[in-house]
Chains A and B, each alone.
Chain A
Amino acid sequence: MAKAIELVNVTKEFATPDGGTHTAIRDLSLTVESGEFCAVVGPTGCGKSTTLTLVSGLERPTTGEARTFGEPVRGINTSTGFVFQQDAVFPWKTVLDNVAAGPLFRGAGRADATGQARDWLRRVGLAGFENRYPHQLSGGMRKRVALAQTLINEPKILLMDEPFSALDVQTRAIMSTELLTLWDQTKPAVVFVTHDLEEAIALADKVVVITAGPGTVKAEFRVDLPRPRVVQEIRFDPAFVSLYEQIWEALRAEVAEAYARTTSLAGVSA
Protein backbone atom coordinates (compact mmCIF):
# COMPACT_ATOMS: atom_id res chain seq x y z
CA MET A 1 0.00 0.00 0.00
CA ALA A 2 1.21 3.50 -0.83
CA LYS A 3 2.46 5.72 1.95
CA ALA A 4 0.03 8.40 3.11
CA ILE A 5 2.59 11.16 2.66
CA GLU A 6 5.86 11.18 0.77
CA LEU A 7 8.08 14.21 0.38
CA VAL A 8 10.88 13.26 -1.98
CA ASN A 9 13.96 15.51 -1.98
CA VAL A 10 11.83 18.63 -1.88
CA THR A 11 13.36 22.09 -1.95
CA LYS A 12 11.29 25.23 -1.56
CA GLU A 13 12.60 28.68 -2.40
CA PHE A 14 10.75 31.92 -1.86
CA ALA A 15 11.48 35.22 -3.54
CA THR A 16 12.50 37.83 -1.00
CA PRO A 17 11.36 41.46 -1.29
CA ASP A 18 14.91 42.59 -2.17
CA GLY A 19 14.98 40.33 -5.24
CA GLY A 20 16.95 37.42 -3.78
CA THR A 21 15.75 33.94 -2.94
CA HIS A 22 15.26 32.45 0.47
CA THR A 23 15.55 28.67 0.73
CA ALA A 24 13.08 27.49 3.34
CA ILE A 25 13.76 23.78 3.02
CA ARG A 26 16.44 21.97 1.05
CA ASP A 27 16.44 18.39 -0.14
CA LEU A 28 14.02 17.25 2.51
CA SER A 29 12.59 13.72 2.43
CA LEU A 30 9.91 12.48 4.74
CA THR A 31 7.36 9.67 4.71
CA VAL A 32 4.36 9.17 6.92
CA GLU A 33 2.38 5.92 6.94
CA SER A 34 -1.42 5.76 6.96
CA GLY A 35 -2.65 6.23 10.50
CA GLU A 36 0.75 7.37 11.74
CA PHE A 37 1.14 10.37 14.00
CA CYS A 38 4.30 12.20 13.02
CA ALA A 39 5.56 15.24 14.93
CA VAL A 40 8.00 17.61 13.29
CA VAL A 41 10.22 19.65 15.60
CA GLY A 42 12.90 22.16 14.80
CA PRO A 43 14.12 25.63 15.66
CA THR A 44 12.21 28.76 14.68
CA GLY A 45 12.40 29.58 10.97
CA CYS A 46 13.60 26.14 9.84
CA GLY A 47 10.78 25.63 7.33
CA LYS A 48 8.66 23.25 9.40
CA SER A 49 5.45 24.92 8.29
CA THR A 50 6.57 24.89 4.68
CA THR A 51 6.46 21.09 4.64
CA LEU A 52 2.76 21.31 5.52
CA THR A 53 1.96 23.79 2.77
CA LEU A 54 3.63 21.44 0.26
CA VAL A 55 1.55 18.45 1.37
CA SER A 56 -1.66 20.49 1.34
CA GLY A 57 -0.91 21.90 -2.09
CA LEU A 58 -1.05 25.51 -0.90
CA GLU A 59 2.53 25.82 -2.24
CA ARG A 60 4.42 23.83 -4.85
CA PRO A 61 7.94 22.56 -4.25
CA THR A 62 10.65 24.29 -6.30
CA THR A 63 12.27 20.91 -6.93
CA GLY A 64 11.38 17.43 -5.76
CA GLU A 65 7.92 16.01 -5.36
CA ALA A 66 5.17 15.82 -2.77
CA ARG A 67 2.91 12.75 -2.99
CA THR A 68 -0.10 11.67 -1.01
CA PHE A 69 -1.23 8.04 -1.32
CA GLY A 70 1.11 7.64 -4.26
CA GLU A 71 -0.38 10.56 -6.22
CA PRO A 72 1.65 13.72 -6.84
CA VAL A 73 0.09 16.77 -5.19
CA ARG A 74 -1.26 19.19 -7.81
CA GLY A 75 -3.23 22.20 -6.64
CA ILE A 76 -5.23 22.29 -3.44
CA ASN A 77 -5.18 18.81 -1.89
CA THR A 78 -8.65 18.36 -0.44
CA SER A 79 -7.81 14.95 0.98
CA THR A 80 -5.92 16.87 3.67
CA GLY A 81 -7.29 18.72 6.65
CA PHE A 82 -5.34 21.71 7.94
CA VAL A 83 -5.41 23.20 11.42
CA PHE A 84 -3.74 26.60 11.38
CA GLN A 85 -1.62 28.26 14.00
CA GLN A 86 -3.78 31.37 14.13
CA ASP A 87 -7.53 31.34 14.16
CA ALA A 88 -8.86 30.39 10.76
CA VAL A 89 -12.50 29.90 11.69
CA PHE A 90 -14.82 32.27 9.84
CA PRO A 91 -15.70 35.06 12.25
CA TRP A 92 -18.97 35.90 10.45
CA LYS A 93 -20.35 32.38 10.71
CA THR A 94 -21.84 30.90 13.85
CA VAL A 95 -20.10 27.92 15.44
CA LEU A 96 -22.56 25.55 13.79
CA ASP A 97 -22.16 27.12 10.34
CA ASN A 98 -18.39 27.08 10.71
CA VAL A 99 -18.35 23.37 11.34
CA ALA A 100 -20.97 22.67 8.66
CA ALA A 101 -18.94 24.64 6.08
CA GLY A 102 -16.81 21.68 4.95
CA PRO A 103 -19.66 19.33 4.01
CA LEU A 104 -21.58 22.24 2.43
CA PHE A 105 -18.54 23.20 0.34
CA ARG A 106 -18.32 19.59 -0.73
CA GLY A 107 -21.92 19.48 -1.91
CA ALA A 108 -23.79 17.99 1.07
CA GLY A 109 -27.37 19.08 1.72
CA ARG A 110 -28.12 21.65 4.41
CA ALA A 111 -29.86 19.23 6.78
CA ASP A 112 -27.18 16.59 6.38
CA ALA A 113 -24.37 19.08 6.95
CA THR A 114 -25.88 20.59 10.10
CA GLY A 115 -26.62 17.11 11.42
CA GLN A 116 -22.99 16.11 11.02
CA ALA A 117 -21.87 19.46 12.48
CA ARG A 118 -23.97 18.97 15.61
CA ASP A 119 -22.46 15.53 16.03
CA TRP A 120 -18.93 16.89 15.73
CA LEU A 121 -19.64 19.77 18.10
CA ARG A 122 -20.77 17.23 20.65
CA ARG A 123 -17.57 15.25 20.13
CA VAL A 124 -15.37 18.29 20.78
CA GLY A 125 -17.48 19.26 23.79
CA LEU A 126 -19.18 22.31 22.33
CA ALA A 127 -22.81 21.15 22.38
CA GLY A 128 -24.94 24.15 23.38
CA PHE A 129 -22.65 26.68 21.72
CA GLU A 130 -24.01 26.22 18.18
CA ASN A 131 -25.32 29.74 17.77
CA ARG A 132 -22.38 31.64 19.20
CA TYR A 133 -20.04 33.63 17.03
CA PRO A 134 -16.31 32.88 17.34
CA HIS A 135 -15.54 36.18 19.10
CA GLN A 136 -17.85 35.07 21.91
CA LEU A 137 -15.68 32.02 22.62
CA SER A 138 -12.38 31.59 24.43
CA GLY A 139 -9.20 30.68 22.56
CA GLY A 140 -9.47 27.02 23.56
CA MET A 141 -13.08 26.82 22.40
CA ARG A 142 -12.22 28.43 19.06
CA LYS A 143 -9.54 25.78 18.64
CA ARG A 144 -12.14 23.08 19.22
CA VAL A 145 -14.30 24.67 16.55
CA ALA A 146 -11.32 24.60 14.19
CA LEU A 147 -10.71 20.93 15.00
CA ALA A 148 -14.35 19.98 14.42
CA GLN A 149 -14.40 22.04 11.22
CA THR A 150 -11.41 20.14 9.88
CA LEU A 151 -12.25 16.66 11.13
CA ILE A 152 -15.85 16.71 9.88
CA ASN A 153 -14.48 16.14 6.36
CA GLU A 154 -12.79 13.00 7.71
CA PRO A 155 -9.49 13.80 6.03
CA LYS A 156 -7.11 10.88 5.56
CA ILE A 157 -4.29 13.31 6.24
CA LEU A 158 -4.36 15.85 9.05
CA LEU A 159 -1.83 18.68 8.97
CA MET A 160 -1.39 20.77 12.09
CA ASP A 161 0.76 23.88 12.23
CA GLU A 162 1.59 24.62 15.87
CA PRO A 163 -2.14 24.45 16.53
CA PHE A 164 -2.01 24.93 20.28
CA SER A 165 0.82 27.43 20.55
CA ALA A 166 -1.52 30.33 21.32
CA LEU A 167 -3.15 28.51 24.24
CA ASP A 168 -2.16 28.62 27.87
CA VAL A 169 -0.27 25.63 29.25
CA GLN A 170 -3.19 23.89 31.00
CA THR A 171 -5.64 24.30 28.12
CA ARG A 172 -2.94 23.09 25.81
CA ALA A 173 -2.44 19.81 27.68
CA ILE A 174 -6.20 19.21 27.80
CA MET A 175 -6.52 19.92 24.09
CA SER A 176 -3.62 17.59 23.29
CA THR A 177 -5.27 14.69 25.11
CA GLU A 178 -8.55 15.42 23.34
CA LEU A 179 -6.77 15.55 20.02
CA LEU A 180 -5.46 12.02 20.64
CA THR A 181 -8.98 10.81 21.46
CA LEU A 182 -10.37 12.38 18.27
CA TRP A 183 -7.47 11.08 16.20
CA ASP A 184 -8.15 7.59 17.47
CA GLN A 185 -11.72 7.74 16.07
CA THR A 186 -10.76 8.26 12.41
CA LYS A 187 -7.01 7.53 12.48
CA PRO A 188 -5.76 9.92 9.80
CA ALA A 189 -2.05 10.24 9.09
CA VAL A 190 -0.92 13.31 11.04
CA VAL A 191 1.90 15.76 10.57
CA PHE A 192 2.04 17.90 13.68
CA VAL A 193 4.48 20.79 13.54
CA THR A 194 5.63 22.19 16.86
CA HIS A 195 8.64 23.74 18.53
CA ASP A 196 7.72 22.08 21.79
CA LEU A 197 9.57 18.77 22.13
CA GLU A 198 7.53 17.62 25.10
CA GLU A 199 4.31 18.04 23.17
CA ALA A 200 5.83 16.23 20.19
CA ILE A 201 6.85 13.14 22.16
CA ALA A 202 3.62 13.02 24.12
CA LEU A 203 1.52 12.94 20.96
CA ALA A 204 3.49 11.21 18.25
CA ASP A 205 4.52 7.78 16.97
CA LYS A 206 7.49 9.36 15.27
CA VAL A 207 9.41 12.57 15.96
CA VAL A 208 11.35 14.16 13.11
CA VAL A 209 14.02 16.72 13.91
CA ILE A 210 14.60 19.39 11.26
CA THR A 211 17.87 21.32 11.01
CA ALA A 212 18.20 25.08 11.30
CA GLY A 213 17.11 26.66 7.99
CA PRO A 214 17.28 25.72 5.18
CA GLY A 215 15.56 22.81 6.81
CA THR A 216 16.24 19.19 6.12
CA VAL A 217 15.69 16.06 8.18
CA LYS A 218 18.39 15.63 10.79
CA ALA A 219 17.10 12.55 12.58
CA GLU A 220 13.96 10.50 13.16
CA PHE A 221 12.96 8.92 16.45
CA ARG A 222 10.33 6.26 17.04
CA VAL A 223 8.16 6.85 20.10
CA ASP A 224 6.94 3.51 21.43
CA LEU A 225 5.07 4.75 24.44
CA PRO A 226 1.82 2.80 24.98
CA ARG A 227 -1.51 4.31 23.92
CA PRO A 228 -3.95 5.60 25.00
CA ARG A 229 -1.79 8.33 26.48
CA VAL A 230 -2.68 11.09 28.89
CA VAL A 231 -0.59 14.05 27.82
CA GLN A 232 -0.62 15.70 31.25
CA GLU A 233 0.98 12.65 32.91
CA ILE A 234 3.08 10.92 30.32
CA ARG A 235 6.03 13.25 30.82
CA PHE A 236 6.77 11.54 34.15
CA ASP A 237 7.23 8.16 32.44
CA PRO A 238 10.93 7.08 32.56
CA ALA A 239 10.77 5.99 28.90
CA PHE A 240 9.51 9.47 28.02
CA VAL A 241 12.37 11.10 29.90
CA SER A 242 15.04 9.03 28.19
CA LEU A 243 13.52 9.70 24.75
CA TYR A 244 13.40 13.39 25.56
CA GLU A 245 17.12 13.35 26.38
CA GLN A 246 18.00 11.56 23.14
CA ILE A 247 15.96 13.84 20.91
CA TRP A 248 17.01 16.98 22.72
CA GLU A 249 20.61 15.98 22.08
CA ALA A 250 19.85 16.15 18.33
CA LEU A 251 17.75 19.28 18.55
CA ARG A 252 20.02 21.31 20.82
CA ALA A 253 22.70 22.04 18.25
CA GLU A 254 20.08 23.20 15.73
CA VAL A 255 18.37 25.49 18.20
CA ALA A 256 21.73 26.98 19.19
CA GLU A 257 22.62 27.46 15.53
CA ALA A 258 19.31 29.17 14.70
CA TYR A 259 19.59 31.36 17.77
CA ALA A 260 23.14 32.40 16.98
CA ARG A 261 22.04 33.29 13.46
CA THR A 262 19.17 35.51 14.51
CA THR A 263 21.22 37.30 17.13
CA SER A 264 24.16 37.89 14.78
CA LEU A 265 21.71 39.15 12.14
CA ALA A 266 20.23 41.48 14.69
CA GLY A 267 23.76 42.62 15.51
CA VAL A 268 24.47 43.39 11.84
CA SER A 269 21.27 45.32 11.21
CA ALA A 270 21.72 47.28 14.43
Chain B
Amino acid sequence: MNEHTGTDVIAAAAEVPPSRFPAGSPRTRSRSRYRLVMALARIGLVVVFVVGWQVGVNTKVIDKFFWGSPSEVWQTLHDWIFVGTSQGSLGRQILVTMEEAVLGFVIGVTLGVVLGIALGRIRVLADLLSPFIKVANSIPRIVLGALFTVAFGFGMQSKVILAVVLVFFGVFFNAFQGTREVDRNLLSNAQLLGASPWRVTREVVLPSAFTWILASLHVSFGFALIGAIVGELLGANEGLGLLIRSSQNNFDMNGVIAGMVLIALIALVAEWLITLLERRLLRWRPPSAVDAARL
Protein backbone atom coordinates (compact mmCIF):
# COMPACT_ATOMS: atom_id res chain seq x y z
CA MET B 1 0.00 0.00 0.00
CA ASN B 2 2.59 2.52 1.06
CA GLU B 3 5.15 1.49 -1.51
CA HIS B 4 5.56 4.90 -3.11
CA THR B 5 9.06 6.26 -2.92
CA GLY B 6 10.84 9.10 -4.63
CA THR B 7 11.69 12.68 -4.03
CA ASP B 8 8.61 14.71 -4.78
CA VAL B 9 5.70 12.65 -3.53
CA ILE B 10 5.04 14.61 -0.37
CA ALA B 11 2.03 16.33 -1.82
CA ALA B 12 0.87 13.17 -3.53
CA ALA B 13 1.14 11.12 -0.37
CA ALA B 14 -1.05 13.56 1.47
CA GLU B 15 -3.78 12.99 -1.06
CA VAL B 16 -3.96 9.20 -0.99
CA PRO B 17 -7.63 8.33 -0.65
CA PRO B 18 -8.64 5.88 2.08
CA SER B 19 -8.26 2.27 0.96
CA ARG B 20 -10.96 -0.35 1.17
CA PHE B 21 -11.53 -2.00 4.50
CA PRO B 22 -8.84 -4.54 5.37
CA ALA B 23 -9.91 -8.17 5.78
CA GLY B 24 -11.20 -9.06 9.23
CA SER B 25 -12.42 -5.57 10.09
CA PRO B 26 -15.80 -5.43 11.86
CA ARG B 27 -17.38 -4.24 8.62
CA THR B 28 -16.30 -7.30 6.58
CA ARG B 29 -17.26 -9.68 9.36
CA SER B 30 -20.78 -8.33 9.64
CA ARG B 31 -21.08 -8.45 5.86
CA SER B 32 -20.08 -12.10 5.64
CA ARG B 33 -22.58 -12.95 8.38
CA TYR B 34 -25.23 -11.15 6.39
CA ARG B 35 -24.34 -13.28 3.37
CA LEU B 36 -24.64 -16.48 5.40
CA VAL B 37 -28.05 -15.48 6.76
CA MET B 38 -29.14 -14.61 3.22
CA ALA B 39 -28.05 -17.99 1.86
CA LEU B 40 -29.91 -19.82 4.63
CA ALA B 41 -33.02 -17.71 4.06
CA ARG B 42 -32.94 -18.52 0.35
CA ILE B 43 -32.68 -22.25 1.01
CA GLY B 44 -35.54 -21.84 3.47
CA LEU B 45 -37.73 -20.29 0.75
CA VAL B 46 -37.02 -23.20 -1.60
CA VAL B 47 -37.80 -25.75 1.10
CA VAL B 48 -41.10 -24.02 1.95
CA PHE B 49 -42.06 -23.97 -1.73
CA VAL B 50 -41.20 -27.62 -2.41
CA VAL B 51 -42.73 -28.92 0.82
CA GLY B 52 -45.87 -26.83 0.25
CA TRP B 53 -46.19 -28.23 -3.24
CA GLN B 54 -45.77 -31.83 -2.02
CA VAL B 55 -48.26 -31.33 0.82
CA GLY B 56 -50.68 -29.79 -1.68
CA VAL B 57 -50.37 -32.86 -3.92
CA ASN B 58 -50.73 -35.30 -0.99
CA THR B 59 -53.87 -33.55 0.28
CA LYS B 60 -55.27 -33.41 -3.28
CA VAL B 61 -55.44 -29.61 -3.24
CA ILE B 62 -53.09 -29.63 -6.25
CA ASP B 63 -53.91 -31.97 -9.12
CA LYS B 64 -50.67 -33.76 -9.91
CA PHE B 65 -51.89 -34.67 -13.38
CA PHE B 66 -51.57 -31.00 -14.34
CA TRP B 67 -48.89 -29.78 -11.98
CA GLY B 68 -46.77 -32.81 -11.22
CA SER B 69 -45.34 -33.51 -7.78
CA PRO B 70 -41.86 -32.87 -6.39
CA SER B 71 -41.25 -36.50 -5.49
CA GLU B 72 -42.12 -37.68 -8.98
CA VAL B 73 -40.09 -34.91 -10.60
CA TRP B 74 -37.19 -36.09 -8.50
CA GLN B 75 -37.89 -39.68 -9.57
CA THR B 76 -37.93 -38.62 -13.24
CA LEU B 77 -34.63 -36.77 -12.88
CA HIS B 78 -33.18 -39.80 -11.10
CA ASP B 79 -34.27 -42.11 -13.92
CA TRP B 80 -32.95 -39.75 -16.59
CA ILE B 81 -29.59 -39.58 -14.91
CA PHE B 82 -29.12 -43.24 -14.05
CA VAL B 83 -31.22 -45.04 -16.67
CA GLY B 84 -31.31 -42.53 -19.53
CA THR B 85 -34.12 -40.78 -21.36
CA SER B 86 -36.41 -42.09 -24.07
CA GLN B 87 -34.09 -40.51 -26.63
CA GLY B 88 -30.69 -41.52 -25.24
CA SER B 89 -28.49 -40.45 -22.35
CA LEU B 90 -29.35 -37.27 -20.46
CA GLY B 91 -25.82 -35.92 -20.84
CA ARG B 92 -26.20 -36.08 -24.60
CA GLN B 93 -29.45 -34.05 -24.48
CA ILE B 94 -27.94 -31.40 -22.25
CA LEU B 95 -24.83 -31.23 -24.39
CA VAL B 96 -26.83 -30.72 -27.59
CA THR B 97 -28.93 -27.94 -26.11
CA MET B 98 -25.89 -26.30 -24.53
CA GLU B 99 -23.99 -26.45 -27.79
CA GLU B 100 -26.85 -24.77 -29.65
CA ALA B 101 -27.27 -22.11 -26.98
CA VAL B 102 -23.57 -21.34 -26.59
CA LEU B 103 -22.96 -21.22 -30.33
CA GLY B 104 -25.97 -18.97 -30.85
CA PHE B 105 -24.85 -16.81 -27.95
CA VAL B 106 -21.28 -16.39 -29.19
CA ILE B 107 -22.29 -15.66 -32.79
CA GLY B 108 -25.13 -13.36 -31.74
CA VAL B 109 -22.96 -11.41 -29.29
CA THR B 110 -20.14 -11.06 -31.80
CA LEU B 111 -22.45 -9.83 -34.53
CA GLY B 112 -24.26 -7.51 -32.12
CA VAL B 113 -21.06 -5.96 -30.76
CA VAL B 114 -19.40 -5.54 -34.15
CA LEU B 115 -22.45 -4.08 -35.87
CA GLY B 116 -23.49 -2.02 -32.84
CA ILE B 117 -20.10 -0.36 -32.63
CA ALA B 118 -19.79 0.03 -36.39
CA LEU B 119 -23.15 1.76 -36.63
CA GLY B 120 -22.44 3.79 -33.52
CA ARG B 121 -19.17 5.02 -34.97
CA ILE B 122 -20.13 5.47 -38.62
CA ARG B 123 -22.99 7.87 -38.97
CA VAL B 124 -23.79 7.08 -42.63
CA LEU B 125 -24.14 3.39 -41.88
CA ALA B 126 -26.52 4.11 -39.00
CA ASP B 127 -28.68 6.40 -41.14
CA LEU B 128 -28.77 3.82 -43.94
CA LEU B 129 -29.59 0.75 -41.86
CA SER B 130 -31.61 2.03 -38.91
CA PRO B 131 -35.09 1.61 -40.53
CA PHE B 132 -34.30 -1.98 -41.49
CA ILE B 133 -33.09 -2.80 -38.02
CA LYS B 134 -36.22 -1.28 -36.49
CA VAL B 135 -38.43 -3.36 -38.80
CA ALA B 136 -36.47 -6.54 -38.10
CA ASN B 137 -36.67 -5.86 -34.39
CA SER B 138 -40.45 -5.46 -34.49
CA ILE B 139 -40.97 -9.03 -35.77
CA PRO B 140 -41.83 -11.42 -32.94
CA ARG B 141 -38.71 -13.49 -33.29
CA ILE B 142 -40.10 -16.75 -31.98
CA VAL B 143 -42.24 -16.86 -35.14
CA LEU B 144 -39.03 -17.01 -37.14
CA GLY B 145 -38.38 -20.34 -35.45
CA ALA B 146 -41.13 -21.92 -37.54
CA LEU B 147 -39.46 -20.58 -40.66
CA PHE B 148 -35.98 -21.75 -39.68
CA THR B 149 -37.14 -25.22 -38.73
CA VAL B 150 -38.56 -25.71 -42.19
CA ALA B 151 -35.69 -24.03 -44.00
CA PHE B 152 -32.77 -25.50 -42.06
CA GLY B 153 -34.21 -28.80 -40.92
CA PHE B 154 -34.46 -30.66 -37.61
CA GLY B 155 -30.73 -30.50 -36.95
CA MET B 156 -28.68 -28.12 -34.87
CA GLN B 157 -28.47 -25.34 -37.46
CA SER B 158 -32.04 -24.05 -37.16
CA LYS B 159 -31.75 -23.80 -33.35
CA VAL B 160 -28.46 -21.96 -33.50
CA ILE B 161 -29.86 -19.45 -35.97
CA LEU B 162 -32.94 -18.85 -33.83
CA ALA B 163 -30.69 -18.29 -30.80
CA VAL B 164 -28.51 -15.88 -32.81
CA VAL B 165 -31.55 -13.85 -33.86
CA LEU B 166 -32.81 -13.68 -30.28
CA VAL B 167 -29.43 -12.67 -28.85
CA PHE B 168 -28.40 -10.24 -31.56
CA PHE B 169 -30.83 -7.37 -31.06
CA GLY B 170 -30.36 -6.92 -27.32
CA VAL B 171 -26.60 -6.86 -27.66
CA PHE B 172 -26.73 -4.72 -30.78
CA PHE B 173 -28.82 -1.96 -29.23
CA ASN B 174 -26.69 -1.89 -26.11
CA ALA B 175 -23.43 -1.77 -28.08
CA PHE B 176 -24.87 0.98 -30.28
CA GLN B 177 -26.06 3.04 -27.34
CA GLY B 178 -22.81 2.42 -25.46
CA THR B 179 -20.86 3.69 -28.46
CA ARG B 180 -22.98 6.80 -28.70
CA GLU B 181 -22.57 7.54 -25.00
CA VAL B 182 -18.76 7.49 -24.94
CA ASP B 183 -17.47 10.57 -23.16
CA ARG B 184 -16.56 13.18 -25.80
CA ASN B 185 -13.57 14.33 -23.76
CA LEU B 186 -12.12 10.82 -23.81
CA LEU B 187 -12.51 10.66 -27.59
CA SER B 188 -10.89 14.08 -28.06
CA ASN B 189 -8.11 13.19 -25.67
CA ALA B 190 -7.28 9.94 -27.49
CA GLN B 191 -7.31 11.70 -30.87
CA LEU B 192 -5.03 14.46 -29.67
CA LEU B 193 -2.68 11.94 -28.08
CA GLY B 194 -2.28 10.55 -31.58
CA ALA B 195 -4.68 7.60 -31.81
CA SER B 196 -5.91 6.52 -35.25
CA PRO B 197 -9.69 6.01 -35.69
CA TRP B 198 -9.19 2.25 -35.36
CA ARG B 199 -7.26 2.64 -32.11
CA VAL B 200 -9.86 5.05 -30.78
CA THR B 201 -12.46 2.37 -31.47
CA ARG B 202 -10.41 -0.38 -29.89
CA GLU B 203 -9.00 1.42 -26.89
CA VAL B 204 -11.66 3.99 -26.04
CA VAL B 205 -15.02 3.07 -27.57
CA LEU B 206 -14.90 -0.66 -26.93
CA PRO B 207 -13.93 -0.55 -23.24
CA SER B 208 -16.33 2.29 -22.63
CA ALA B 209 -19.21 0.52 -24.36
CA PHE B 210 -18.38 -2.69 -22.51
CA THR B 211 -20.28 -1.54 -19.45
CA TRP B 212 -23.41 -1.47 -21.60
CA ILE B 213 -22.61 -4.64 -23.53
CA LEU B 214 -21.94 -6.69 -20.42
CA ALA B 215 -25.25 -5.61 -18.93
CA SER B 216 -26.97 -7.08 -21.98
CA LEU B 217 -25.07 -10.39 -21.77
CA HIS B 218 -26.94 -11.49 -18.65
CA VAL B 219 -30.26 -11.31 -20.45
CA SER B 220 -28.77 -12.56 -23.71
CA PHE B 221 -27.70 -15.96 -22.52
CA GLY B 222 -31.24 -16.52 -21.31
CA PHE B 223 -32.42 -15.62 -24.81
CA ALA B 224 -29.93 -18.00 -26.40
CA LEU B 225 -31.27 -20.79 -24.21
CA ILE B 226 -34.85 -19.87 -25.14
CA GLY B 227 -33.85 -19.94 -28.82
CA ALA B 228 -32.35 -23.40 -28.52
CA ILE B 229 -35.27 -24.83 -26.49
CA VAL B 230 -38.01 -23.27 -28.62
CA GLY B 231 -36.22 -24.49 -31.74
CA GLU B 232 -36.21 -27.98 -30.30
CA LEU B 233 -39.87 -27.75 -29.28
CA LEU B 234 -40.75 -26.83 -32.85
CA GLY B 235 -38.99 -29.84 -34.29
CA ALA B 236 -35.78 -31.67 -33.43
CA ASN B 237 -34.05 -35.02 -33.23
CA GLU B 238 -32.56 -34.53 -29.77
CA GLY B 239 -32.06 -32.01 -26.98
CA LEU B 240 -33.81 -30.87 -23.80
CA GLY B 241 -36.56 -29.12 -25.75
CA LEU B 242 -37.47 -32.39 -27.47
CA LEU B 243 -37.40 -34.14 -24.09
CA ILE B 244 -39.91 -31.63 -22.77
CA ARG B 245 -41.98 -31.95 -25.92
CA SER B 246 -42.19 -35.74 -25.74
CA SER B 247 -43.03 -35.60 -22.03
CA GLN B 248 -45.82 -33.18 -22.86
CA ASN B 249 -47.11 -35.47 -25.59
CA ASN B 250 -47.29 -38.29 -23.02
CA PHE B 251 -49.09 -35.99 -20.51
CA ASP B 252 -46.08 -36.49 -18.25
CA MET B 253 -45.96 -33.16 -16.44
CA ASN B 254 -43.21 -34.42 -14.16
CA GLY B 255 -41.02 -34.77 -17.22
CA VAL B 256 -41.85 -31.23 -18.35
CA ILE B 257 -40.99 -29.83 -14.94
CA ALA B 258 -37.83 -31.92 -14.66
CA GLY B 259 -36.74 -30.44 -17.99
CA MET B 260 -37.44 -26.95 -16.64
CA VAL B 261 -35.35 -27.65 -13.57
CA LEU B 262 -32.40 -28.69 -15.75
CA ILE B 263 -32.73 -25.57 -17.90
CA ALA B 264 -32.83 -23.38 -14.81
CA LEU B 265 -29.63 -25.02 -13.53
CA ILE B 266 -27.88 -24.40 -16.84
CA ALA B 267 -28.99 -20.76 -16.83
CA LEU B 268 -27.72 -20.30 -13.28
CA VAL B 269 -24.29 -21.69 -14.11
CA ALA B 270 -24.10 -19.47 -17.20
CA GLU B 271 -25.13 -16.44 -15.17
CA TRP B 272 -22.39 -17.18 -12.69
CA LEU B 273 -19.79 -17.47 -15.46
CA ILE B 274 -20.92 -14.18 -17.01
CA THR B 275 -20.67 -12.45 -13.65
CA LEU B 276 -17.09 -13.74 -13.33
CA LEU B 277 -16.30 -12.40 -16.79
CA GLU B 278 -17.87 -9.08 -15.90
CA ARG B 279 -15.83 -8.77 -12.70
CA ARG B 280 -12.69 -9.50 -14.67
CA LEU B 281 -13.40 -7.03 -17.47
CA LEU B 282 -14.70 -4.23 -15.25
CA ARG B 283 -11.86 -4.42 -12.74
CA TRP B 284 -11.12 -0.79 -13.45
CA ARG B 285 -14.42 0.44 -12.07
CA PRO B 286 -14.94 1.55 -8.47
CA PRO B 287 -16.12 -1.51 -6.48
CA SER B 288 -19.42 0.07 -5.44
CA ALA B 289 -20.48 0.54 -9.05
CA VAL B 290 -19.72 -3.09 -9.93
CA ASP B 291 -21.60 -4.38 -6.90
CA ALA B 292 -24.61 -2.26 -7.71
CA ALA B 293 -24.59 -3.52 -11.29
CA ARG B 294 -25.13 -7.15 -10.38
CA LEU B 295 -28.41 -8.45 -9.09
Contacts and interface: CB of A to CB of B under 8 A. Distances in A.
Contact of A56 (B190, B192, B284): B192
Interface residues of A, number: 43
Interface stretch (B4-12, B64-72, B94-102): B4-12
B194 interface: yes
Interface stretch (B170-178, B181-189, B224-232): B181-189
A155 to B, nearest CB: 9
B188 A88 contact: yes
A135 B288 CA distance: 11
B17 A91 contact: no
A149 B193 contact: yes
Contact of A84 (B12, B16, B185): B185
B53 to A, nearest CB: 47
Interface stretch (B199-207, B248-256, B271-279): B199-207
A82 B188 contact: yes
A58 B107 CA distance: 37
A221 to B, nearest CB: 29
Interface residues of B, number: 34
Contact of A88 (B8, B189, B284): B189
Contacts of B196: 105
B15 A141 contact: yes
Interface in A119-141: 122, 125-129, 133-138, 140-141
B203 A135 contact: no
Contact of A171 (B8, B15, B204, B208): B15
A58 B188 contact: yes
A128 B3 contact: yes
Contact of A127 (B9, B190, B191, B204): B9
Contact of B6 (A82, A93, A125, A134): A125
A88 B186 contact: yes
A144 interface: yes
Contacts of B234: none
A236 interface: no
B11 A92 contact: no
B140 interface: no
B4 A78 contact: no
B267 interface: no
A178 B207 CA distance: 32
Chain B CB count within 10 A is highest, among A88, A137, A140, A178, for: A88
A102 B3 CA distance: 26
Given A92-B207, A105-B194, A133 B283 contact: yes
Interface in A153-207: 153, 171, 174, 178
A81 interface: yes
B285 interface: yes
Interface of A: 56, 58, 76-78, 80-82, 84, 86-94, 101-102, 105-106, 122, 125-129, 133-138, 140-141, 144, 149-150, 153, 171, 174, 178
9 contacts: A56-B192, A77-B192, A84-B185, A102-B193, A102-B194, A126-B12, A129-B12, A138-B15, A144-B12
Interface of B: 3-6, 8-12, 15-17, 183, 185-186, 188-196, 199, 203-204, 207-208, 210, 283-286
